[in-house]
Each structure stands twice: as C-alpha cells, then as structure tokens.
Amino acid sequence: MIIRPRRLRASPAMRRLVAETRVHPSQLILPMFVREGLSEPLPISSMPGVVQHCLDSMRRAIAEAAALGVGGVMLFGVPEHRDALGSGATDPEGILNLATRAAVAEAGDALVVQTDLCLDEFTDHGHCGVLDARGRVDNDASLERYRDMGVAQAEAGSQLLGLSGMMDGQVAAVRNALDSAGFTETPLLGYAAKYASAFYGPFREAVQSTLQGDRRTYQLDPANRREGAREVLIDVAEGADVVMVKPAMSYLDVLADASASSPVPVWAYQVSGEYAMIEAAAANGWIDRERAVLESVTSIVRAGADAVLTYYASELARSIRSTV
C-alpha cells in the first residue's frame, strides 16, 4: 500500500498539526439571562450550570468571559411584569436596557455586548410579536414595536442587535429606524433561518415563557431546507451585517448552505435543548462530557459557522486556552 491516511492520525501532535477545523475563544458568544428583581443568580433546572443572572452576577460573568477571550455575550431580559405590547422592551429602565448599560460598562472593548431584539420575553402571551383582534401575530404591527425596541437598545449601548422574531421585513425595518435615529454604525444580526424547533424547551424555562399556542406561523418548518436558504438571502438584501441559523446541530445542512451563499458572516446558535441533552447524557455516564462539548461546537464550525452562540462559551474558552 502506498496510500495510508492513518499516517496523519498517528499521534496527538500530528492530529493537531493537520486539523482542518479549529475553534478559537473569539468565535464563541455566551448567551446570558438577566432577571429583574434578583439579588443573586438563580439556577435553571433544565440547564444545569446555567443561571438567571442578577446584575452583579452578570457583571462577574462578563468579566470572566472577557478574561478568557470570549468574543461576545448575548443578553436576554426576564422582566417581572409583562403586557400585550411588551412595553418593558422599550422602557429605558426595563431590565434588558438596564443590563445592557451595565454590561457595556463592564466589558469595555474586551468583547461585543449583544442584545436579543424580540418581544417574547416581554409579552404576556409569549409570542414574538403583537397580536391582532383575532389573536394572530400581526407582522407589520410587530415591526413598529421592533423599530422602537431597536432604537431603545442602541441608546442603551448595545453593540449588535439580534433580530430573532422572524417577522417578514424585520431587518429592513430596524435598519431604517436605527439610521433615522442616527445609529448608522450599529450592526444587525438577522436570525434568518430560525426553525420552529422542539429543542427550545429549556429556554422557555430560562425566560419564564408565557407562550400560548406555538410559533409555527413565523418560524420555519423543520422540513424545509431551501426556505432557510431563501430567508438568508432576504436578510442579506435587507441589510443584515450577520445572519444566523438556529438551532445548530440539527440544521448543519442549512448552515452549510448559508455559509456557501452568504457574503456576510454566518453564525449559529447551539440552543438550550442541545445543551440540555449533552448535560443529561453526561450526568447518566453515557457520554464523555468534555469531549462531547468540544465535538459538538467543532461540528458547528466545521459546517460553516464563523461564530457560535453556546452556553459552553466560557468553559470551552478556558479549556482551549489551557491546551495552547
């Protein structure tokens, strides 16, 4: 035999030398839940190791992430009071905007403070937009709320707005509102291919979701691959600076398509259910937890993600730094 591929697998040093995909801490973004009224962090039962933060614990977690070289944090607000319009989302003193100002002050230029621009955490019905008289999500009325929310987040200092609501035209609407308000330099992350997935379950606990019904009229059907590619192109055309595929591991084909077609960076979100599955299997002794964490994120990067939102961001960054 002349061709022996195993030659390049013979030792750890050789395998590191020829690795085709590498994960760097700067590619990792840590999602964080900040809950109004807390004086100390509160564990999330379905996501072992993840908490709802108070402002002080959020600051500590951001300082740790920055020291580890993590690329960014994505903030989600959990308010005490909700209403049909999600009024807390645009209140300058609402929990997400308060947390944003505190996070930016803590992080400085060490990482990118990002904010979730969606109404689901702030509405009493739990949908990502406002409802019409028949109880359906009103796309265009929701865009008006997104416009106001985008300006409020930019005023609070958010360095990147994550448009996760999946309303038609959301990128163009928020871009127009920001530009009109003078925030022409604030970038937009379009959750372009966000699927109506079963893997969001633990997230609902994390944000204390009040969802009534489901989101299948605006999030994508898991059966559809071409539709995901179409949504990516639409968001790019509307002015998205980055596009997102969510979830990640069950949609690596969609992610690869997006990476091949998009002229802007493509990110992916390793969602709460993906995290919870790894934790549950590891707790039962069925998998090697540390290897599974690295393998899962590596597979997402290998499929084409330029950055990954993952609850393992700080842990994985620490592990990567310790092996360098």
SS3 182: coil
Contact 51, 311 (CB under 8 A): no
* 90-104 residues labelled b (16+ CB within 10 A) or e (exposed): beeebbbbbbbbbbb
Q: Based on the structure, what is the number of domains in the chain?
A: 1
Catalytic residue ranges: 194, 246
Q: Is 24 exposed, middle or buried (0-12, 13-18, 19+ CB in 10 A)?
A: middle
What is the C-alpha to C-alpha distance for residues 99 and 14, in angstroms, rounded to an integer?
45
* Separation CA 319–CA 6 (nearest Å): 27
- For residue 69, the enclosing domain spans 24-323
Q: Are 154 and 181 in contact (CB under 8 A)?
A: yes
How high is the pLDDT of residue 324? 60
Output the pLDDT for position 321. 84
Q: Is residue 8 part of a domain?
A: no
Residue 235, in any domain of the structure: yes
Instruction: Please spell the DSSP secondary structure of 299-319, one letter per residue.
Output: HHHHHT-SEEE-TTHHHHHHH
Is the four-CA dihedral 295, 297, 303, 304 of positive or negative sign?
negative
* 11 in a structural domain: no
State the Cα–Cα distance between residues 294 and 275, nearest whole angstrom.
Answer: 12
Is the residue at 5 inside a domain? Answer: no
100 inside domain:
yes
Q: What is the CATH number of the domain that holds 298?
A: 3.20.20.70
Amino acid residing at 4: R
* Angstrom distances, CA of residue 173 to CA of 58, 69, 91, 118, 133: 30, 33, 19, 13, 23
Q: What is the pLDDT of residue 16?
A: 93
| Predicted local distance difference test score (pLDDT) of residue 302 | 98
Residue 322 pLDDT: 80
Per the DSSP assignment, residues forming a β-bridge with 190 are: 163, 243
Q: Per the structure block, which two tokens stand in for 29?
A: 């973004």
Is residue 14 a part of any domain in this protein? no
Assess if residue 70 is contained within a domain: yes
Give me the tens of pLDDT residue by residue for the chain, a chain 324 residues long.
999 999 999 999 999 999 999 999 999 999 999 999 999 999 999 999 999 999 999 999 999 999 999 999 999 999 999 999 999 999 999 999 999 999 999 999 999 999 999 999 999 999 999 999 999 999 999 999 999 999 999 999 999 999 999 999 999 999 999 999 999 999 999 999 999 999 998 988 898 888 878 999 999 999 999 999 999 999 999 999 999 999 999 999 999 999 999 999 999 999 999 999 999 999 999 999 999 999 999 999 999 999 999 999 999 999 998 876
Rounded Cα–Cα distance for residues 261 and 233 (Å): 8
Q: Is residue 319 part of a domain?
A: yes
Question: How distant is the alpha carbon of residue 304 from its chain centre?
Answer: 16
71 Cα distance to chain centroid: 13
